[in-house]
Amino acid sequence: MHATWTHVRERNSVPAAVGAELPLHPCQISFVELARYSGTSLAEDCCDRGTPGSELSPITMTTEISTSINIKEPRWDQGTFMGRAKHFFTVTDPRNVLLTNEQLENAHKVISDYRQGVMSPGLTEDELWRAKYIFDSAFHPDTGEKMILIGRMSAQVPMNMTITGCMMTFYKTTPAVVLWQWINQSFNAIVNYTNRSGDAPLSVNQLGTAYVSATTGAVATALGLNALTKHISPLVGRLVPFAAVAAANCINIPLMRQRELKHGIPITDENDNRLGESTTAAKQAISQVVVSRILMASPGMAIPPFLMNTLEKKAFLKKFPWMSAPIQVVLVGFCLVFATPLCCALFPQKSSMSVSRLEPELQEKIRVSHPGVERVYFNKGL
């Protein structure tokens, strides 16, 4: 279907001298519509219409992305589980570990420029969001420093699959239990330090206390359960590392965030206006993180033992017993690829609670300073 200059003239007051019944190029129709909505005179357009009857040249248009995209927030709706899952699948993408320093610096430049209102030539919205997630995967949100590689969220799957696979393969002797539980808790300490909060930095003493306590708790749990399961089914023995990891999470996370339990975490209204600090909110946040971490480890530490218990009875693993560890690592990795983002998405990152559940003195303070606020929000952590 062709539009004509007559039709456009009627709608946009184009002079009759432009020509009657002259077919428009589709690009020109778009340009006319754009001019009509933006108030631009068609006499000032940059296309060459030519004389009536002459061939019309197409218009080349470049569309710049909006400068009002909020790249401080995730791309997808965090009010739904699906939106949170999409966000965390992107955040924990193991391929980000393979990015070069040049790619990281390019993403850093794109995001830094955009925040200052400067956009790279030809930048699309998809490219902007990709740069944002690359930036978030490698640079600390508070300090802006490049994070330790193995402490980044994108390293969670490859690192955890290796450590967990080995914990579940070498669990029968005391030296092996001590070694792999120590390696696991050392890795957790690096992750917790790398992703520390810039508003409430951990002291060396706090970090050391959490590290020693979690390692001791995990080793003691593993050795104690190993002793109890010596005369029980081997399948039960394979689940001992999971129990040790669960116990360590219950110790490690509260200790690593003990400052929040003592002094509270920042709470805000829905417009991000800070209202104070709440220890009640901190308890809810830490509880949600502990549950997420335990459930995150569950598929990779509960499903492979059943499969390995069957596979080790087959001729293949009897002939090649050294393949047990690689197979277990792959199985754990497959589970973690899905379990890590899905369990992170169980609870909203920006959690909330009713004002009536806060500490009495904080309730009173909020009712006086912000009488209309009924619900407060806070970052639960990871």
Residue-wise pLDDT for 269-286, tens only, equals 888 888 888 899 989 998
Mean pLDDT, rounded, for 196-207: 67
Task: Specify whether the CB–CB gap between 266 and 378 falls below 8 A.
Answer: yes
Q: Are residues 128 and 183 in the same domain?
A: no
Instruction: Tell me if 345 is assigned to some domain.
Output: yes
Q: Are residues 292 and 347 in the same domain?
A: yes
Q: Are residues 272 and 197 in the same domain?
A: yes
**At residue 329, what are phi and psi to the nearest 5 degrees?**
-60, -45
From 139, 171, 206, the end of a domain falls on 139
Q: Which range of residues forms the domain containing residue 260?
A: 151-379
Q: Are residues 286 and 314 in the same domain?
A: yes
Instruction: Give the pairing of strands 375-379 and 350-354.
Output: antiparallel
Instruction: Tell me if 250 is assigned to some domain.
Output: yes
Q: How far apart are CA 154 and CA 135, in angstroms?
A: 12
Mean pLDDT, rounded, for 117-133: 85
Q: Are residues 117 and 25 in the same domain?
A: no
Helix axes 156-169, 240-256, angle to 10 degrees: 140
Q: How far apart are CA 254 and CA 48, in angstroms?
A: 69
Instruction: Tell me if 112 is assigned to some domain.
Output: yes
Is the pTM above the cut of 0.75?
no
Q: Are residues 173 and 241 in the same domain?
A: yes
Mean pLDDT, rounded, for 193-221: 73
Tell me how many domains the chain contains: 3
Q: Give the pair of three-digit tokens for residue 94.
A: 């193991």
The per-residue pLDDT for range 154-192, each reduced to its tens digit, is 898 899 889 988 888 887 788 888 898 889 888 887 887
